[in-house]
Amino acid sequence: MLFQEIIRHKRDGAELAAEEIAAMVAGIASGEASEGQVAAFAMAVFFQGMTHAEAAALTLAMRDSGEVFDWDLPGPVVDKHSTGGVGDNVSLMLAPIVAACGGYVPMISGRGLGHTGGTLDKMDAIPGYTSQPDNALLRRVVSEVGCAIIGQTSALAPADKRFYATRDVTATVESVPLITASILSKKLAAGLGGLVMDVKSGNGAFMSSYEGALELAQSITGVAREAGLPCHALITDMNQPLASAAGNALEVANAVDFLTGAHRDARLEAVTLALAGEMLALTGLAENRGAGEAKARAALDSGKAAEVFGRMVSALGGPADFVDRPGKHLAAAKLVREVAAPESGHVAAIDTRAIGLAVVELGGGRRRADDAINPAVGLTGLVDLGEQVERGSPLCRIHADSEAQAVDAERQVLAAYRIGQAPDVPTPVLKIID
């Protein structure tokens, strides 16, 4: 098939046949399709959209462009994917919780994008941790421990890797069917038997409107069903940071505190347990989501989930005593400074995206893809939306490596927090799509 004819069909609003989509994806993966043709195809889909059947065909073709895992395990293989947010370290607790309940979680994670933190960057904050193992090590850790939080390898959905890079520079990232196929192709390549989506909505999310988040959640669950993957979605609120910490090593420390019971942020706990309950119910490890949440909480409170996390870290090259002594191993910033509330009142609004960008400016994120990350910097003790504060009381603590960075971050945090009347605070979980 001629690539230009496939592009013309989609440009003119036609529904593409599965064979046309497969031919286009094969050209993307092999390099036979030029950059111009890949960009034109992306733009045609951006403007004309895709049916669920088309998006499913695109998903399956990108899945089959590389290696597809086939697991032989005594329990269900399941994963979760988040569309990204600030202070979203859920994966670090969720994978070991579900593994402690009998699931197997090969969690393929990504790096930070824009103002959002990346799970892979958080795991890289742990000294010695192999975040991109070869397939043999991945299989062994998942089989023996129950979970592995890792990054995408070049063998998984390589067509998606090239397609996404082109979309990133052609203003076509926001296409719902293309987002859907990008996410699901990698998850299907990982050999999953079930997937739960965490679709963020709010001023710290890529889908800032509830309507946009709902459209994406419905697209992903619908296309996943077309592709043969059981998938549920939770729409969760991102109008404030999810954890009280934002920054790679700081979010890892927050996760260890959560797993051990030393400290658990209430909203983070609600979202984590809701996702765990959904994953356990979806895979038959619990009778329903309520029973799944109860089972997840028992695994958390008993210490079993913390034990699984420690074993995973050790099996992937990290310190054997990491859960017991995270402070010994995690990098620490050179200075810590409190940001004082400028007046008394309630936290009326938080510009969550600005909080994420403050972490990036501190060096905890990337301005360019090849930037190095400082794992030590970030923010802790972030005050929640609706919380009452007194003039001079701390809104958060800045962890920085220079006085200039700290001063700039303080300015950004003060601009992000608005003090006033108590607002209506959204519930952490806005909707469940099953």
What is the fold of 3-49?
1.20.970
pLDDT value for 194 = 96
What is the fold of 331-420?
Aldehyde Oxidoreductase; domain 3 (3.90.1170)
pLDDT value for 269 = 98
pLDDT value for 349 = 97
Tens-digit pLDDT profile for residues 169-228: 888 888 999 999 998 998 999 999 999 999 999 999 878 899 999 999 999 999 999 889
What is the fold of 78-315?
Pyrimidine Nucleoside Phosphorylase; Chain A, domain 2 (3.40.1030)
Mean pLDDT confidence for 413-424: 97
Q: Is the pLDDT of residue 248 over 70?
A: yes
The pLDDT-based confidence of 379 (bands split at 50, 70, 90) is very high
The pLDDT-based confidence of 161 (bands split at 50, 70, 90) is confident
Q: Is the pLDDT of residue 316 over 70?
A: yes
3-state secondary structure labels for all residues of the chain: CCHHHHHHHHHCCCCCCHHHHHHHHHHHHHCCCCHHHHHHHHHHHHHHCCCHHHHHHHHHHHHCCCCCCCCCCCCCEEEEEECCCCCCCHHHHHHHHHHHCCCEEEEEECCCECCECCHHHHHCCCCCCCCCCCHHHHHHHHHHHCEEEEECCCCCCHHHHHHHHHHHCCCCCCCHHHHHHHHHHHHHHCCCCEEEEEEEECCCCCCCCHHHHHHHHHHHHHHHHHCCCCEEEEEEECCCCCCCCECHHHHHHHHHHHHHCCCCCHHHHHHHHHHHHHHHHHCCCCCCHHHHHHHHHHHHHCCHHHHHHHHHHHHCCCCCCCCCCHHHHCCCCCEEEEEECCCCEEEEEECHHHHHHHHHHHHHCCCCCCCCCCCCCEEECCCCCCCEECCCCEEEEEEECCHHHHHHHHHHHHHHEEEECCCCCCCCEEEEEC
From CA 281, how far away is CA 241, in angstroms rounded? 27
For the chain, the structural domain boundaries read: 3-49, 78-315, 331-420
- Nearest Cα neighbor of 53 from 191, 181, 244 is 181
- The DSSP bridge partners found for residue 89 are none
From CA 179, how far away is CA 200, in angstroms rounded? 14
pLDDT value for 64 = 96
- Among all residues, which ones are annotated catalytic? 79-82, 119, 167, 182, 186-187
Tens-digit pLDDT profile for residues 25-59: 999 999 999 999 999 999 999 999 999 999 999 99
